[in-house]
Amino acid sequence: MPQILPKLMSLGTAVPQHRITQADVLAILAQAKGQALPPRMAEILGNTGISQRHIAMPPEYYFDARSWAKRAGVYEVVAAQIFEAAAMQALARANLQAADIGQIVFVSTTGTMTPSLPSRMIAKMGFAPNTRCVPLFGYGCAGGVIGLGVAADLFLACPDKPVLLVSLELCSLAYDHARMDKKDMVALALFADGCAAAVIGAGAGPQLGAFASHVWPDTLDMMGWQIGDTGFDLVLARDIPVFVNSHFAPVCDAFLAQQGLTKVGMAEPACHPGGGRVVDALSDYLGHNLSATRSILRDHGNMSSPTVLFVLESLLSAGSISKPTLLTALGPGFVGAMGVLTP
């Protein structure tokens, strides 16, 4: 019997209700500091490529004392809301019901619950009681691409029912803003909240091809979190744009060569944007302006793992997947994640 290859049948996205512009953020930061921001810091924060973002709670919430328990409570409520909204949109676009899904892959690094969020959504959304839930934690910004690859592998192993991937991050809840140091201000100016869902199955849609990841040794200080007293402390190196061309580029070239592909002749890539300078570095390497990636960064900020799926949804909506399409993301590890879709 021939192997049933996984297709990306649909995508759905959702964001929390609270919208904040980058101008709002700069004003809030100055107020919290009690003085105008240093010109160099204001320039850095203003040149992120972001115009607006969505966050889980109103801005004033983030400057009150917040315990781990309180933040976990907000994660539980808001994450459930946008999980359901994105998943229902993806299911509707694939002409499926929740009960049609056999497995749920759930990617999130900004909150965790036991039982996991997808397990809690089984009865609420009408998934079958025997639906397998596969939570993936710790991949950060690389989680969207890695999760899509895992979902494709799970469908290949058990192709009788479609697989639902849900990538969800509430980055705004992760950090404690009491100290207001440089890294905290970068987190405030860059990260956002959102959720993307994808249905992987045997229906119509682009085919999910090869996926791969690469971890570089001695790079733990490039990106990630350290556990602080009241929240996560951001680890984020300044030289990630340089790393794109010096380290990621040859690895990605080798990945494409293994698939018999080159950057020339492919469709517009779907890249996790990271920030403005990272997009510029990726654009230089890939030889493409990355307009969809820039547009998602401008309108939604860096939502961590789901961001690349927002970009992919934009490309699909525009009918841009007419050639092989490269997906890329960089995340803690330091890891590069890559995947290919073919029409």
Other C-beta atoms closer than 10 Å to the C-beta of 277 total 17
Q: CA–CA separation, 166 vs 268, rounded Å?
A: 23
User: Which entry of 133, 141, 171, 271 is annotated as an active-site residue?
Assistant: 141
Residues contacting 292, CB < 8 A, separation 6+: 268, 270, 311, 314, 315, 318, 320
Q: Is 141 a catalytic residue?
A: yes
**Which residue numbers are catalytic?**
141
